Structure 1
Amino acid sequence: MRATRTVHATVGATLTGVLLLTAGGTAAADQVRKDLWPLEAFEAQALWQKATGKGVTVAVLDSGFRTTHQDLTGQFLPGADFTNTSQGDGSKDLAPGQDLRDHGTAMAGIIAGHGHGPGGSEGVKGLAPGAKILPIPQYKNGAAATRYAVDHGADVINMSYGETFVADTCESIHYAIEKGVVVVAAVGNDGWSQRSYPVGCPGAIGVGSVDQYGKASDDNNFNSDLDLLAPGVKIPAAMGGSDTAYRTEDGSSAATAYVSGAVALLKEKFPHLTPGQIANRLVKTAGLAGPQKAMHLKLPDVHYGYGFIQPGPALTRDIPAGPAQGPLPMPQGKAPQTAVVPGADKGPDPDPPMGGKEKLMLFGGGVVGLLAIGAIVTGAVTSARRRKSGGSGAWS
């Protein structure tokens, strides 16, 4: 059973800015922007003087997208649809009042929303508003969608979902890494230690959720796949039901999108760094709040990874590039240039005898607001152990 880690209401100095917003704590023009505490925590206005993600393409593999949402107009590139028609598109699993485009729209907004109203001062603004989104709807077809993203100009791939391992799951991520594409994946929100995919693949940066005070969410899956934390509690998000729809969302999905946004900023400023070297900048500048520092955690910790991302220091600190593979587990050898067919791979057993609960879910976690609580899509998840490369581990 996971040990509860208590965090006091004081915020460590490493979490910059006023994290729990109060009335009058921001000059934002509407409640959505007022509640968007991660921008305050990251001191986004100062960040955007250094980078906005301009020229960077972030592929979002998700359930669907409302490309006309008022906070996202003009942010989408032409994409492709990888929903698996033989198994449906996931709409049958939606709760009443949910829209198939909700989850993907939310992730796109967190990454590259530009807001609306005077000077874009209202609604959702993403961490990398200068980036463009390559929208790729997919359902139980993540490997094919990953290869499409790589071949169509993605610099970053956001994977806020979990799905059953198939022959090409990890090989497609290997292909992405080999082509210089950074892959960011959610750890999931079951609060258990079992592994899942695609976060369990070498090369994927595993992300969990943290709140305004630096406390890791108790819902995060906790194991060695968790590399970094990012904001994922009480996050205002754009929704797919209408061009003006919003709700507040919790979970590792939102956290993953914030890391993808941070990567977009880094890719703009450091375009020649490898995925491993980008991860190195995030790892070397990750922080812990005071209570966690006092615990003297051995990092990476299964609940905290290396800590929560700090995009400002990641952009500005003098950090040697280091080895191409970086500090996280990376795939070895050469990646297959075409999709691996079932039975041809030598990856983990796609049906390990672990007896775990199986489901496919978009890792949005709990939802607070007008819509029902729950994940957007449910299906099958296979839990299995993350493959580790022989020389992986933290380095200095």
Structure 2
Amino acid sequence: MYGMGFTRTLRAVGSALVAGALLVGIAPVASADQIRHEQWPLRSFGADDVWKVSTGKGVTVAVIDDPVDGSHRDLKGNVLPGKSFFTGGTADHPFGEREHGTAMASLIAGHGHGPGDGDGVKGLAPDAKILPVGIDLGDPDEGSDSSGKRLSYAEPLRYAVDHGARVVNMSFMTDDVVPSDAEQAAVDYARKHDVLVVAGSGNSGVSSPRNPAVARGVLAVGAVDIDLKVWKFSNYGSHIKLLAPGLHIRSAGVETPYRLANGTSDSTAYVSAAAALLRAKFPDLTAGQIANRLVKTAGLPDDMRGKKLPDPHYGYGFIRPSKALTANIPAGSKDGPLPPLSDASSKAAGDGKAVKSDTDEGMGMGIIVGIVGGVVGLLVVVLIVVLVAKKKSGRNGPPPGGSGGYGGLGGQGGPGGFVGYPVNPNPYQQQPGGPGSYPSAPPVQPPGR
């Protein structure tokens, strides 16, 4: 649980990390034990206590990304063969020097190495399994593959669902601000099969939504820095649901054993890992109910108190895995904070094609007659109401709401108006649980992958 003492510790650690980051160019490869020390998110999550409750064992997380180096000493044994959609064959070995997928996998299910696995990178869910699903990611911030073609995740996502993934991590963007029909159908397919899909918002610092984070039913993630401030390059908008650490993140590499990076890619991996912890601890909860535990226990800065959630920058707040695992949270609806999966979407999810209604070819005569009869009946009722109102107006003077006026229609309890629908409190509104402040993060390294 985040407290003021915890924040002071983070700031101290952050200062050390900034200094360490400045030395990256001097020391080609940091020592393995130094790497673990620089994994500040694990300390901020209280990972040692988290792992006493859950390690993600028995849960498969698909990483749709560059192929993953399953032979990396911090990942060996935790990476399944998977499938590469652009090189053919399996995706458990790197493609050239591409390392983004390896990095994401290590933040989710890295187990470290050495005595007591105390060296190297350790993921937040170290006993989870990674299903690598290789795609031609190109530059994950540009939205197209290396040949410039539009990147599509429809088929890879369906593959992940069909091969046992319970959480899917998508730390990339496509060129589009909305998903294609096939991509949205794939997301619906995942939800129909109780798979939680997590995607990064992007690293441009803009409010323009980007696919796949904006797809209906996806858990969209932004990034915070070590002071729990929203990263200045983290994309934002009404679709943002959660935040997680995304600055000065140590992870496994390919060209060199370890890398240091910034980005919502990393924060997305941490949310996927937290979801894996929860799916292991609460195997009977739906994907939406897992998301519900994450948002219900998320932390917020003090100055967000009383504000409507989700906030365009903070969503419901930054994840707190320990509290999500241990708090007494009612299961809630099967969809949680995610939009309901409509019957039409559920049917369309089966094959990725739009569902055609029986009425698309035209209405039957019986339906038309029924509609006409209903309209005529409604007109008669309206005529009677108007005549009665006019007669009463002549006896009692003008109606309330102003001299001779008809009164308002929308204001709750307004003079002469209908009482508006009650404003229901947001079911995920919570008291802020974490310190920090709202302003943008201080200058940092350029956006990373």
Pairwise same-fold verdict (TM > 0.5): yes
Instruction: Say whether residues 1:83 and 2:94 are aligned partners.
Output: no
Find 1:300's aligned residue among 310, 327, 346.
310
User: RCO greater where, 1 or 2, for CA within 8 Å and sep 6 or more?
Assistant: 1
Distance 2:135 2:276 in 1: 22
1:309 is matched with: 319
Give the C-alpha shift of residue 237 in structure 1: 1.0
Higher CA-based Rg: 2
2:53 is matched with: 50
Contact 2:203–2:447 (CA under 8 A) maintained in structure 1 = no
SS at match of 1:248: strand
1:129 is matched with: 126
Contact 1:187–1:252 (CA under 8 A) maintained in structure 2 = yes
2:363 is matched with: none
Contact 2:7–2:227 (CA under 8 A) maintained in structure 1 = no
Distance 2:6 2:182 in 1: 39
Find 2:167's aligned residue among 156, 161, 170.
156
TM-score by length of 1: 0.76
Find 1:18's aligned residue among 9, 13, 18.
9
Instruction: Say whether residues 1:277 and 2:289 are aligned partners.
Output: yes
Contact 2:199–2:213 (CA under 8 A) maintained in structure 1 = yes
Structure 1 residue ranges without an equivalent (≥5): 1-10, 90-97, 347-365, 377-396
Identity of aligned residues (%): 48
Give the C-alpha shift of residue 340 in structure 1: 2.4
Give the C-alpha shift of residue 339 in structure 1: 4.1
1:322 is matched with: 332
Counterparts in 2 of 1:367 and 1:214: CA distance versus 1, 3 Å: closer
Counterparts in 2 of 1:235 and 1:120: CA distance versus 1, 3 Å: same
Structure 2 residue ranges without an equivalent (≥5): 17-30, 137-150, 357-442
Distance 2:5 2:335 in 1: 27
Counterparts in 2 of 1:235 and 1:345: CA distance versus 1, 3 Å: farther
Distance 1:276 1:335 in 2: 19
Q: Bigger shift: 270-279 or 28-37?
A: 28-37
Distance 2:97 2:315 in 1: 31
Distance 2:269 2:447 in 1: 18
1:143 is matched with: 154
2:99 is matched with: 102
Instruction: Say whether residues 1:340 and 2:352 are aligned partners.
Output: yes
Distance 1:247 1:47 in 2: 25
Give the C-alpha shift of residue 183 in structure 1: 0.6
Alignment root-mean-square deviation, CA? 2.7
The amino acid that maps onto 2:321 is P
SS at match of 1:227: strand
Contact 1:228–1:283 (CA under 8 A) maintained in structure 2 = yes
Distance 1:322 1:112 in 2: 28
Contact 1:167–1:345 (CA under 8 A) maintained in structure 2 = no
Instruction: Say whether residues 1:62 and 2:49 are aligned partners.
Output: no
Whichever structure has more helix as a proportion of its residues is 2
The amino acid that maps onto 1:258 is Y
Contact 2:185–2:349 (CA under 8 A) maintained in structure 1 = no
Aligned residues: 323
CA offsets per residue over residues 184-242 of structure 1, 9 Å max, x none? 11011111111111111121100000111110111111101110000101000111225
Distance 2:3 2:50 in 1: 20
Q: Bigger shift: 162-171 or 47-56?
A: 162-171
Give the C-alpha shift of residue 30 in structure 1: 1.7
The amino acid that maps onto 2:233 is D
Contact 1:206–1:226 (CA under 8 A) maintained in structure 2 = yes
Distance 2:118 2:108 in 1: 16
2:184 is matched with: 170
Find 1:208's aligned residue among 197, 222, 230.
222
Distance 2:223 2:65 in 1: 18
1:224 is matched with: 238
Distance 1:73 1:263 in 2: 22
Give the C-alpha shift of residue 39 in structure 1: 0.5
